[in-house]
Amino acid sequence: MKPHLLPGWRRILRKAWSIRLAALSGVLSACEVVLPLFVDAMPRALFAGLALVTITGAMIARLVAQKGM
């Protein structure tokens, strides 16, 4: 089966919470790697925990019907 985009994919990309939370998780994962190189006082596990929470939220948001979608 050939992959294809969903109808209204542009709107989904702009408004879906699952996309927003997944993007935030990516940013937090990058912060986990980059910030300890510059700041020793920042707990390294903080960004890993936040990334875990946001990606879990993204998975849940993907399954929940969102108003206006």
CB 12 within 8 A of CB 63: no
pLDDT of residue 6: 84
pLDDT of residue 17: 87
pLDDT of residue 45: 77
Cβ neighbour number for residue 58 with a 10 Å cutoff: 19
Q: Left if phi > 0, otherwise alpha if psi is -120 to 50, otherwise beta: which for 4?
A: beta
Question: What does the pLDDT profile of the chain (69 residues) look like in tens digits?
Answer: 888 888 888 988 888 888 898 898 888 788 777 776 766 666 767 777 888 888 888 888 888 877 766
pLDDT of residue 61: 83
Cα–Cα distance measured from residue 65 to residue 52, given in angstroms and rounded to the nearest whole number? 22
Query: Could you tell me which of 58, 52, 62, 57 has the C-alpha nearest to residue 28?
Result: 52
